[in-house]
Amino acid sequence: MTTILITGSNGFIGANFARRARARGWQVAGVDLQPGDVGGHCHAYVAVDLASPDAFKRLRELPAPDLILHAGGISGFMVETDNPARIVAVNIAGTMPVIECALQCKSRLVLCSTIMTYGPDRVPGMLRHETEYPEPISIYGASKVALEALMHGFRGQYGLNAIALRFGHVYGPGRTTQCFVRDMLAAACGRQACHIPQAGASPRQYVYIEDVCRAIDLAMAADSLASRVFNITADEIHTLEDVAAEVGRQTERFAVSFDDSCDLLNYRVGKLSGDRAAAELGYRPEFPLAAGIRRYWNEAFAAPTANPQ
């Protein structure tokens, strides 16, 4: 039986992948800050702050994993914005016990990275590739660059078997942190007007949670890779106005306004190239924005008993 360790197992990506892993018969070991396994998907669970001194010892209480998904950590540049030391402690120092566990157990490690490693375009509309020098403009983005650098260093010096996936803006059922797709769908569900506190022309590269989980699957199984960092998106770029128009088309009951005075540079990232992920992982998105919004609406909002999330 395959055993997988998932950090952040109560979080959005972690919980969704834990459910997927358990459904296929894997033994799931979870790690998160909460006292218990919120979703009930883990066979074993420990509550620990990965930035704490005893994190590696607590990980050793769990079954030795064949695979590790490191989805734990500060989950966006809008989280802990006034506490950069906490971002560094969790996303950088907190990755060390996970790497140590992977080395000790000879596990394949998949790291959740982000589009925010790139920073805004130097040339408007440029295609962004994994090979370019990262220039993030947030501590969150910088922490993920450091995480990737640790991966490369430990691979070179100790043979760490790891892959980093740079996800676009992930959406879908279960997301609790800021997500404008969820806010729009929830407003449509309640037949209410929706105000988005950012510019309508602000770009997004959304990726549906099922595509994210499938990319993780492919990274877990990939052999003889030439590369170790991969962009994972829906291979599309949209403005928030485009997203609102799609929500309106599918729900037929939606009004939205934007704050055009707020256009954050963090999102001014040109289209991420998916060529490397397609060529080496075999990843091709199955949920363009229209299909992802339709699935999200039907699963979380359209049913009479649905609880918007």
* Bridging pattern class, strands 193-196 and 229-232: unpaired
pLDDT of residue 124: 83
pLDDT of residue 55: 96
Domains 3-170+206-235 and 175-203+236-267+287-302 are alike in CATH topology? no
Closest residue by Cα to residue 18 from 39, 33, 48, 1: 39
CATH topology of domain 3-170+206-235: Rossmann fold (3.40.50)
240 pLDDT above the threshold of 80:
yes
Residue 307: exposed, middle, or buried by beta-carbon count in 10 A (0-12, 13-18, 19+)? exposed
Percent of the chain at pLDDT > 90 equals 89
For residue 255, the one-letter residue type is A
- Give SS3 for 203: strand
Domain positions in the chain? 3-170+206-235, 175-203+236-267+287-302
Locus of tokens 């803006």: 169
Residue 221: exposed, middle, or buried by beta-carbon count in 10 A (0-12, 13-18, 19+)? exposed
Confidence label for 302 from pLDDT (cuts 50, 70 and 90): confident
Closest residue by Cα to residue 218 from 281, 152, 294, 135: 281
Let me know how many helices (H) and strands (E) the chain has, helices first: 10, 13
Name residue 111's beta-bridge partners. Answer: 70, 164
pLDDT of residue 136: 96
Average pLDDT, the chain: 94
The CATH number of the structural domain formed by 175-203+236-267+287-302 is 3.90.25
pLDDT of residue 305: 47
pLDDT tens across 164-210, in order? 999 999 999 999 889 999 999 999 999 999 999 999 999 999 999 99
91 pLDDT above the threshold of 70:
yes
253 pLDDT above the threshold of 70:
yes
Asked whether the beta carbons of 63 and 27 are under 8 A apart, the reply is yes
The arithmetic mean of pLDDT across residues 72-85, rounded, is 78
Locus of tokens 């040109």: 270
pLDDT of residue 77: 67
Asked whether the beta carbons of 147 and 95 are under 8 A apart, the reply is yes
The arithmetic mean of pLDDT across residues 222-242, rounded, is 97
Confidence label for 123 from pLDDT (cuts 50, 70 and 90): confident
pLDDT tens across 4-22, in order? 999 999 999 999 999 999 9
pLDDT of residue 82: 80
